[in-house]
Structure 1
Amino acid sequence: MRHVHVPAAGVARSAPAYGHSSRSFGVKARWYLPAALATDLLGAGVPVGLVFTQADQPYPVGCAIGAAVVWTGVQALRRRYTGRALGESRGVLPVLHDWLILIGVLAVARAATGESSDPLTSLCALVPALLFTIACHKLTYRHLAAARREAQAVSRVLVIGEPEAAESVIGHLAGRTDHPYVVVGVVPVGTGRLTSGVPEPARLGPEPAEGLSEADAVLAAVRDQHADLVLVAPGARLAGERLRRIAWALHDAGLELAVFPGLVEISPKRLETLSAGGLAVLRVAPPVRRGVQPVLKSALDRAGAGLGLLVLAPVFLGLVAAIRLGSAGPAFYTQRRIGRDGEPFTMWKFRTMVVDADRLKAELSGSNENDGHMFKMRRDPRVTRVGRLLRRTSLDELPQLFNVLTGQMSLVGPRPPLPEEVAEYDEVELRRLTVRPGMTGLWQISGRSDLSWDETIALDLQYVDNWSFTSDVDLVARTFRAVVDGRGAY
């Protein structure tokens, strides 16, 4: 996999100057909470009041106030207004879950009070609450993501661990900006040289020292770098009693301690903390491969593909005519791809290139702009004028609904690779073939052709290992925005 070069500052984002005396870097914008509260109160109350008034339903004002109070109450009980939750990406499904709880609570209240409003009218009046809350979450998430790219609203982190483990943590955090951590210092344990350039305010010896000297050294390093969090990369020299004493000192000083277990790209949904004989154990659930969820996925694929082909039939006819008029050749293009477990299949697409595009690919091999096994050119001369529009809007992918309907592909999954790409896969890359390829996936909503090869593989493996039916539904919803945005589609 890709090795991230860690810049001299120790983080890829623009880190705040080391030794800064302010702790305001970890504070999110103050308007997040009032914006969320106002959105939930008004987004639930105002539409209910207006709809009930227009539909001549009883007690419009009382129902509006009740809906607003219950909606904010549900959000509060679900801890959506805490500083840790505000602005963070939670997707659409958690909000939908909260909204369904709202419907359930109001249904019980309606039955208990004998309220006689029309159920369908009431349900329609509550839909804006869901939409406004989702929009507010998207707004605050975008703002927070932009702030974190500028090293604002982040937590200053001091890393402790053996040099190799510490450098691995620093490198991983430096390569991404979708997290709240900025490394401001490192306390290596044992001998070994650090190359990241991160300040080293202290160093612990290979063996535990007597007394509280090590804990005092760590606390001094925290104060020196004004750290908000201590992140431990445990190893043979930093475990057991030694780690416990450091944890005691940090907690007594009111500081947070986090432990990196050495796992990457594992969804929190698969993690469970257990206690065995006084040992804290982290259980990692296996990826979902059997049971109800795969059956639901298959049902969603077939139903979605069938409905899509039926509804989009007029669009298909229009695109076929446009392609045939735009350039000589058939409207459809078929290509051999590799599916689940290495099984080859014929994938369908609308033709976006000239007829002899495959023959010309060898002549353009020196112009490949992808750093891996895929061939990508931003200005590929083989693409037709109509083809550029189809690629920009992802309409060229629609015939793959036939592949989904026949079970060769899924609506959501890794990108279906070419046979020549698979021939060069290593053991890690082959793991992406353990599920059906998809029309859309994490690669689709994360930049598509703008991604490097390593980033594409990392996203595919993240999907393969952490798949769930609800994540598929969320990805389908996020795909519509990616298609409209068009970033990386060429």
Structure 2
Amino acid sequence: MTTTSEHTQSVSAATPSRMLRYLPASALIIDAALMTVVGLIAIVGRRELGIFASSASVEQQLIIAGPLMIVGWIVTIALLDGYHRDVFGAGTDEYRRILNASLLAAGITGVTCYLAKFDLSRGFFLMAYGLGVPALFLGRMALRRALHSARRRGLLRHRVLIAGTRAHVDEVARVLGREPWLGYEVIGALTPEYDLSEETTTGLPVLGNANEAASLAKSSRADSIFFAGGAVGSSSQFRQMVWELEQDSIQVVIAPSVTEISNERINIRPVGGLPLMHIEPPTWTDASRWGKRTFDFVGSLGLLIVFAPLFLLAATQVKLHDRGPVFFRQTRIGKDGHEFSCFKFRTMVQNAEAMVADLQEQQGQSALLFKMKDDPRITPPGRWMRRLSVDELPQLINVFLGHMSLIGPRPQVAREVALYDESMSRRLHVRPGMTGLWQVSGRNDLTPEEAIRLDLYYVDNWSMLQDLSILSKTMGAVVSSRGAY
């Protein structure tokens, strides 16, 4: 096992990033700058558009109201923890706090002006807050994108130790390693004192015993320590560790043996001082309700109208290439195992299905999620349609008819479904989708295991907010053509 002194020497040159402490200040500066710009736009817009025209001079009001509104808005965001370091980088909590703080700031501004009898222009007020909230969202999105980009390059990362049994350590390390944009750099493991191994099964170095977590975290210059299963023997021992770690400002994270569960389904409820984690039932039943179906119906109808010219162009090119059928119709398995005819523009030669078995044998792939880069069956028109996902546009007809959804797991054929195990069968609880987590996360560049994991996560943790997020990311995935073939 690696000793503390040896490890200290090995990491002396690799100090943890301290630039993370400037994230809140960066966000505050961006927010203040955007609020100022939006305020100037609101002044010009109120004057030029004549919204709620009155005798009040917006320019004179700005001298008093402008700085107070900006300061009050920033203070409100700060009070609602909108600048807390933990909200940056992942999740929707950051945007929720911005929205709640903005609504609260607008309410306070309106009530204060009324009580003080201050003649604030209503047009300026509406434009300032109406444009300000989207502007703040865009600013935070830009900051998050810059943060993710830096972390993918190895910057602005948290140095992390994971304490627990080797199996639990590897499980947590795999989850953190899948998402490099989260910024967690696992530098080592701490195992129970009875485990004398020098590394975990996946090759992560064991730096020492878990009961020496405080001293080892300090010597290895860790920013955070994750406590997984088997890390400590009792609650009193863990409490003592937390007290020691807080002296060096080392963040403590509990990593229970629960994965692929969204935060919306997890509730922490303390009982007698014992924090109990309650996991709500899977939300796949909500994905079958009228709200999602209405969204699919209206969305598919609108998109069919918008993409009508593109439909005509694609259909013409397919027909002129080899005089074959424009559409490729294939029986797919939908919700609850029901079969339906899935429409696509034909992108392959007319005898493509007869060639599948030989290609699978050549590539050494199973029928499950079979995909092939440089597929010889694809026609010249099919290549550009696949690259831009135009070949899948006719599936809007399936969405309109209720066979599919705009967002969901990829529809599969019977021979693929026949290979499902019990867990994979959960994909059939919801309608298959034109796009989904698998597409915005890498599309065909993903391994079959990764694609299945994302589909199961979607089924168990469905929400309309997640659907809207996937839909917004789909355009970027299509434009970049990453993983499309």
- Under a length normalisation based on structure 2, what TM-score does the superposition of the two structures give? 0.84
> How far apart are the structure 1 equivalents of 2:213 and 2:343?
60
> How far apart are the structure 1 equivalents of 2:214 and 2:97?
40
2:43 aligns with 49
Counterpart of 1:24 (choices 6, 17, 32) is 17
Shift of 1:282: 0.6
In the TM superposition, 1:96-245 aligns within 5 A as 97=99, 101=103, 105=107, 108=110, 112=114, 115=120, 117=122, 128-192=131-195, 193=197, 194-195=199-200, 196-203=202-209, 214=211, 217-235=212-230, 238-245=233-240
Contact 1:48 1:67 in 2 (8 A): no
> How far apart are the structure 2 equivalents of 1:427 and 1:260?
26
Contact 2:407 2:433 in 1 (8 A): yes
Paired letter, 1:52: R
Paired letter, 1:221: L
CA offsets, 1:28-73, max 9 Å, x none?
6667335522443234223212212322455333368376556545
Secondary structure at the aligned position of 2:227 is classed as strand
> How far apart are the structure 1 equivalents of 2:113 and 2:294?
35
> How far apart are the structure 1 equivalents of 2:288 and 2:113?
33
Shift of 1:87: 4.5
Distance 1:253 1:99, change over 3 A: closer
Shift of 1:314: 3.5
Paired letter, 2:58: P
Contact 1:188 1:203 in 2 (8 A): yes
1:79 aligns with 81
In the TM superposition, 1:326-405 aligns within 5 A as 326-368=321-363, 373-405=368-400
Shift of 1:274: 0.9
1:298 aligns with 293
Secondary structure at the aligned position of 2:209 is classed as coil
> How far apart are the structure 2 equivalents of 1:361 and 1:100?
56
CA offsets, 1:282-322, max 9 Å, x none?
11111224569932111101111122223333332333223
Paired letter, 2:206: E
> How far apart are the structure 1 equivalents of 2:106 and 2:75?
13
Paired letter, 2:161: L
> How far apart are the structure 2 equivalents of 1:485 and 1:377?
19
> How far apart are the structure 2 equivalents of 1:26 and 1:370?
45
Secondary structure at the aligned position of 1:202 is classed as strand
Contact 1:40 1:71 in 2 (8 A): no
Secondary structure at the aligned position of 1:467 is classed as coil
Distance 1:171 1:308, change over 3 A: closer
Shift of 1:225: 0.7
Distance 1:190 1:432, change over 3 A: farther
Contact 1:156 1:183 in 2 (8 A): yes
1:211 aligns with none
1:283 aligns with 278
Contact 2:192 2:231 in 1 (8 A): no
> How far apart are the structure 2 equivalents of 1:278 and 1:49?
53
Secondary structure at the aligned position of 2:208 is classed as coil
Counterpart of 1:60 (choices 58, 61, 75) is 58
Shift of 1:472: 1.0
Shift of 1:416: 0.8
My pick for the range that moved more, 420-429 or 167-176, is 167-176
> How far apart are the structure 2 equivalents of 1:306 and 1:107?
42
1:10 aligns with none
> How far apart are the structure 1 equivalents of 2:173 and 2:367?
25
2:6 aligns with none
In the TM superposition, 1:255-266 aligns within 5 A as 255-266=250-261
Contact 2:82 2:94 in 1 (8 A): no
Work out the number of aligned pairs and report it.
463
Shift of 1:363: 3.0
Contact 1:158 1:222 in 2 (8 A): yes
Paired letter, 1:476: L
1:7 aligns with none
CA offsets, 1:461-480, max 9 Å, x none?
11111111111122112212
Shift of 1:254: 4.1
CA offsets, 1:355-395, max 9 Å, x none?
22112223322454978722222211221222111112212
2:439 aligns with 444
Paired letter, 2:301: G
> How far apart are the structure 1 equivalents of 2:228 and 2:177?
16
Contact 2:284 2:459 in 1 (8 A): no
> How far apart are the structure 1 equivalents of 2:345 and 2:58?
52
My pick for the range that moved more, 23-32 or 133-142, is 23-32
Paired letter, 2:207: P
2:269 aligns with 274
1:33 aligns with 27
Distance 1:371 1:361, change over 3 A: closer
> How far apart are the structure 2 equivalents of 1:479 and 1:148?
23
Contact 1:32 1:86 in 2 (8 A): no
Query: Which sections of structure 2, spanning at least 5 residues, go unmatched?
Result: 1-8
Identical pairs, percent: 32
Shift of 1:409: 0.7
Shift of 1:455: 1.0
> How far apart are the structure 1 equivalents of 2:260 and 2:322?
44
Paired letter, 1:356: N
Distance 1:142 1:166, change over 3 A: same
> How far apart are the structure 2 equivalents of 1:92 and 1:484?
27
Counterpart of 1:463 (choices 458, 467, 481) is 458
> How far apart are the structure 2 equivalents of 1:103 and 1:350?
51
Shift of 1:95: 8.3
My pick for the range that moved more, 109-118 or 422-431, is 109-118
Distance 1:161 1:295, change over 3 A: same
Contact 1:188 1:202 in 2 (8 A): yes
> How far apart are the structure 2 equivalents of 1:355 and 1:127?
54
Query: Which sections of structure 1, spanning at least 5 residues, go unmatched?
Result: 1-15, 205-213
Distance 1:475 1:364, change over 3 A: same
CA offsets, 1:143-188, max 9 Å, x none?
2222222332122222221232223323333343132322223221
Q: CA RMSD in A?
A: 3.3
Secondary structure at the aligned position of 2:85 is classed as coil
- Normalized per residue, which structure has more helix? 2
Shift of 1:421: 0.9
> How far apart are the structure 1 equivalents of 2:467 and 2:242?
39
Contact 2:11 2:220 in 1 (8 A): yes
> How far apart are the structure 1 equivalents of 2:310 and 2:394?
11
> How far apart are the structure 1 equivalents of 2:95 and 2:339?
34
Contact 1:274 1:282 in 2 (8 A): yes
Counterpart of 1:435 (choices 430, 439, 462) is 430
